[in-house]
Homo-oligomer: A and B are copies of this chain.
């Protein structure tokens, strides 16, 4: 970055343009520093609505916005689309794009998030994709819609039934929200579109290893969600472990189920970048940070969001959700300022404003201010909050149009199967020399 090295301001590098990194950058924009935010994609993703993109209700462009557009008024900030390969915490350098770009930092704010984890079975990924990025959502949308296309041209009942079987592994919010959408779409949206499919034969199976779905939620709400899902026709298997996955087949204990679509929503592991700091990680690969979110031995490095294991009382752990990233990102930014001003940093405290999940078309569960909300009121509350938070005015309006349309007509606006060949010109490939 030859163009800016003569700048003598303190340089803060932010890795990741998710909720943690973006909200930190907005805080840093008000400080006398220069900021470089690096992300491997060009967009911020509104992750709480990702399951809607995966089920063809919203378009991928509805829930994404270019990071540099969101930070266009942060004149002290440069946004770089680049792949971070490693961090050298001793030399204080971030290595990007296989050495093409190196960023020397005074402070580092690491917010690279998490990916799904297959519990030691990485070979399951191709048969059972997970849902973290917009590219993941496009793959799941393609498989979900494609399954109905395949069922329509199946030559036997057995083949057709297999294509109409959808298994979701993992009963957390992502699994529950996906499981709620599938039967609604199969039975209502596609009602008149197919000639050889009996939509009532579509099976949605939700598999959860623990004793109940939504283990992080209030038990009453989780029970209500369980009931709501069963009313929609979802088969829920709790205390059930998946022991094998291959293309078209999932094995649950002794039972082998033929399923054209298998989705993995069962576990997370933090970005491997944390490991290059050379400090202790927890079992999920998260960096175990100090109460002020800095890294032990590296007061100039902070970790936030899904990538951080943040100390908290055992009964109130900091969950891997968007609000925790929205809170921890700016908190770390403020601690950077305090450190620059030689003031003591402050410990982070997570303010849990509630949990919420949607079930199908117009039901939800929510825990707000110690109260349980269920059914349609919870769904309206969910709708209101998500529109409020959705990044960027344009998307908000566009999403409203899509939702209104989907709600009134049962139709899905984004029923597009795309499969562009991966570009040979990824962000890392040099195509010069010029």
Instruction: Please tell me if A387 contacts chain B, counting CB pairs below 8 Å.
Output: no
Contact status B416-A61, CB under 8 Å: yes
Which residues of the other chain, B, contact A72 by a CB distance below 8 angstroms? 192-193
Which residues of the other chain, B, contact A135 by a CB distance below 8 angstroms? 418-421
Instruction: Please tell me if A31 contacts chain B, counting CB pairs below 8 Å.
Output: no
How far apart are the CA atoms of A77 and B192 in the complex, in Å? 12
Q: Enumerate A385-434 residues with CB–CB distance to B below 8 Å.
A: 394-395, 397-398, 401-402, 405, 409, 411, 413-427, 431-432, 434
How far apart are the CA atoms of A395 and B398 in the complex, in Å? 11
Instruction: Please tell me if A260 contacts chain B, counting CB pairs below 8 Å.
Output: yes
> CB-nearest residue of chain B relative to A402?
B398
Which residues of the other chain, B, contact A150 by a CB distance below 8 angstroms? 427
Given A258-B434, A415-B66: A146 and B193 interface contact (C-beta under 8 Å)? no
Q: Enumerate A116-158 residues with CB–CB distance to B below 8 Å.
A: 126, 134-136, 138-139, 142-143, 145-146, 149-150, 152-153, 155-156, 158
Contact status B427-A413, CB under 8 Å: no
Contact status A427-B149, CB under 8 Å: yes
Instruction: Please tell me if A73 contacts chain B, counting CB pairs below 8 Å.
Output: yes
Which residues of the other chain, B, contact A1 by a CB distance below 8 angstroms? 153, 155, 196
Which residues of the other chain, B, contact A139 by a CB distance below 8 angstroms? 420-421, 423
- Number of residues on chain A facing chain B (CB within 8 A): 83
Which residues of the other chain, B, contact A126 by a CB distance below 8 angstroms? 424
Q: Select A419's contact among B2, B158, B420, beta carbons within 8 Å.
A: B420
How far apart are the CA atoms of A303 and B81 in the complex, in Å? 47
Given A159-B432, A394-B411: A416 and B248 interface contact (C-beta under 8 Å)? no
Which residues of the other chain, B, contact A413 by a CB distance below 8 angstroms? 61, 394-395, 398
Instruction: Please tell me if A276 contacts chain B, counting CB pairs below 8 Å.
Output: no
Given A401-B401, A427-B146: A416 and B78 interface contact (C-beta under 8 Å)? no
Instruction: Please tell me if A342 contacts chain B, counting CB pairs below 8 Å.
Output: no
> CB-nearest residue of chain B relative to A53?
B61
Instruction: Please tell me if A287 contacts chain B, counting CB pairs below 8 Å.
Output: no
